[in-house]
Structure 1
Amino acid sequence: MLQEFKKFIAQGNVLDLAVGVLVGAAFGKVVTAFMDDIINPVVGLAVGGVDLSALKIVLKAADPATQTAEVAIRYGSFINVGIQFLITMWVIFLIVKAANKAKLSNSLAPKE
């Protein structure tokens, strides 16, 4: 069984997938930092010093007397995640486009 597992792991697709997952996780952190440290301050400045991630609609205010938490729709956080998703998808699109172009140019190259 150990030999079968080694054979399974050694297959190119499994290793490619593992590398892709790790690179994707690291890239997600880069995009999050980009949003938090670059995009959000610029957007906040543009809309009058508001922290985009703090935008919300309060449905029920917190009540310290009864120790109930605030109930709110945090649409600013949702907008942040949406922008992060679009940035991530754009970069993936550019990478796939470049890879396809490289693959096409390699297939058109004269064979020796």
Structure 2
Amino acid sequence: MSYIRSDEAGKFLTFLVDKDVKGAINGASDGTISIKEIIEYVEEKTGARAIIDNSGEDAPYNGEPEYSICTDKAKELGYQFTELKDWIYELLDYYIQVVEELDKVDNGRFH
């Protein structure tokens, strides 16, 4: 899937202010990452294992094919997006740390 950082989305919108653009234009960091890659990374960093249970509710993207957002129109205008893998792991590390801190506050009873 494709992602974009909130600060980059803001910069992209600012970039577009004085451009003569017709129709939709996409913004996303260059590259993609799969949910599987995210799960494997979190498992490796935390030592915890994801629990996959087929009896749960379907997630919104279950069964969707892999895809990325085409940003060619933005690039033709001169905008250069960041590389997803240059920042996504740092963001995952941040949220891992947040959860670990919450778990400490809750005396190891994180739900």
Normalised by the size of structure 2, how large is the TM-score? 0.28
TM-score, normalisation: structure 1 = 0.28
